[in-house]
């Protein structure tokens, strides 16, 4: 995780310097979402951004239910201790942002958990509707109305909305909500896909936060695996 956030892998043992780096990250980010507490993270994100419920709904049905053996492997205490030793900086990063998340949640007040319960119910209802809708190959354009609540105005869920939230690439819904110009300009600021940064590392090139930064540095051909560096005038 620290590698993905920009900490060099060869400095994995420098815990004190890593602690300073993580503190800087904590100051830079208003919110870091935690996968194990995704629903809580999403509800908090909605509140901080003053968004509507329709902007943050997730498709909750499993997309990969294959019973891989490693999913059920229970590590021994010795293996866990070894892992903590090898990945001390990652544990530091996780604990910092996990604690930060719950501090922000606790500051929201007791109605946060009422909204969390409501969010989970609507998420499951909409996911059930979308699963049925997307599996209906007759093209029937059904719709579902989510009634207004203290956390959202009334809105409608249809096949187009379901198509967006069931995609693996999240920008489809952003593009639909924000308009077609979003993809041309806004996508340049999206967090760089990991595979693109790995391709850069294999070529001995630096990594970047987003495609816009990479293009500014003269990087071309990332998406087509034909990476070359164009000299950029200073």
Using CA atoms, how far apart are residues 182 and 172, in angstroms rounded to an integer? 10
Q: Specify the length of the chain in residues.
A: 234
Instruction: Write down the pTM of the prediction.
Output: 0.69
Which of the pair, 38 or 67, is modelled with greater confidence?
38
- Mean pLDDT, rounded, for 146-157: 94
Q: Which of 23-37, 106-120, 176-190, 211-225 has the highest mean pLDDT?
A: 106-120
- 6: left (phi > 0), else alpha (psi -120 to 50), else beta? left
DSSP at 151: T
Provide φ and ψ at 41, rounded to 5°.
Answer: -65, -40
Residue 189 clears pLDDT 70, i.e. is over it? no
Helix ranges (H only) for 107-191 are 111-135, 159-165, 171-178, 181-185
What integer pLDDT is reported at residue 36 of this predicted model? 92
Helix or strand run (H / E) with residue 157: strand 155-158
H-helix or E-strand containing 78?
helix 77-86
User: Who has greater pLDDT, 195 or 190?
Assistant: 195
pLDDT beyond 50 at 9:
yes
Domain boundaries, the chain: 9-190
Q: For residue 158, what pLDDT band results from cuts at 50, 70 and 90?
A: very high
| pLDDT confidence of residue 194 | 74
Render pLDDT for 85-124 as a digit per residue (tens, 0 to 9).
Answer: 888 888 999 999 999 999 999 999 889 999 999 999 999 9
Query: Any idea which of 15-29, 75-89, 100-114, 196-210 has the lowest mean pLDDT?
Result: 196-210
Q: How much is the pLDDT for 120?
A: 96
Q: How far is CA 4 from CA 31, 117, 208, in A?
A: 17, 32, 10
Please compute, for residue 59, the number of CA atoms within 13 A of its CA located in the half-sphere on the CB side. Answer: 21
pLDDT at 203: 81
pLDDT at residue 233 tops 50: no
């Amino acid at each position: 995780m620290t590698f993905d956030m920009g900490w060099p892998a060869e400095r994995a043992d420098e815990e004190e310097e890593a602690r300073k780096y993580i503190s800087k990250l904590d100051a830079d980010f208003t919110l870091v979402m935690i996968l194990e507490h995704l629903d809580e993270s999403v509800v908090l994100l909605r509140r901080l951004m003053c968004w509507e419920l329709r902007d943050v709904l997730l498709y909750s049905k499993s997309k990969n239910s294959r019973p891989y053996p490693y999913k059920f492997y229970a590590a021994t205490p010795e293996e866990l201790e070894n892992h903590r030793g090898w990945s001390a900086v990652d544990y530091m990063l996780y604990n910092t942002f996990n604690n930060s998340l719950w501090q922000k949640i606790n500051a929201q007040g007791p109605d946060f958990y009422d909204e969390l319960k409501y969010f989970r119910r609507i998420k499951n209802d909409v996911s059930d509707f979308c699963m049925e809708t997307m599996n209906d190959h007759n093209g029937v354009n059904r719709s579902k109305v989510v009634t207004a609540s203290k956390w959202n105005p009334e809105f409608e869920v249809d096949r187009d909305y379901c198509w967006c939230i069931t995609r693996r690439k999240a920008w489809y819904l952003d593009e639909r909500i924000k308009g077609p110009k979003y993809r041309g300009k806004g996508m340049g600021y999206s967090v760089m896909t990991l595979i693109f940064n790995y391709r850069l590392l294999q070529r001995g090139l630096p990594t970047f936060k987003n495609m816009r930064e990479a293009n500014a540095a003269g990087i071309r051909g990332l998406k087509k695996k034909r990476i070359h560096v164009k000299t950029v005038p200073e």
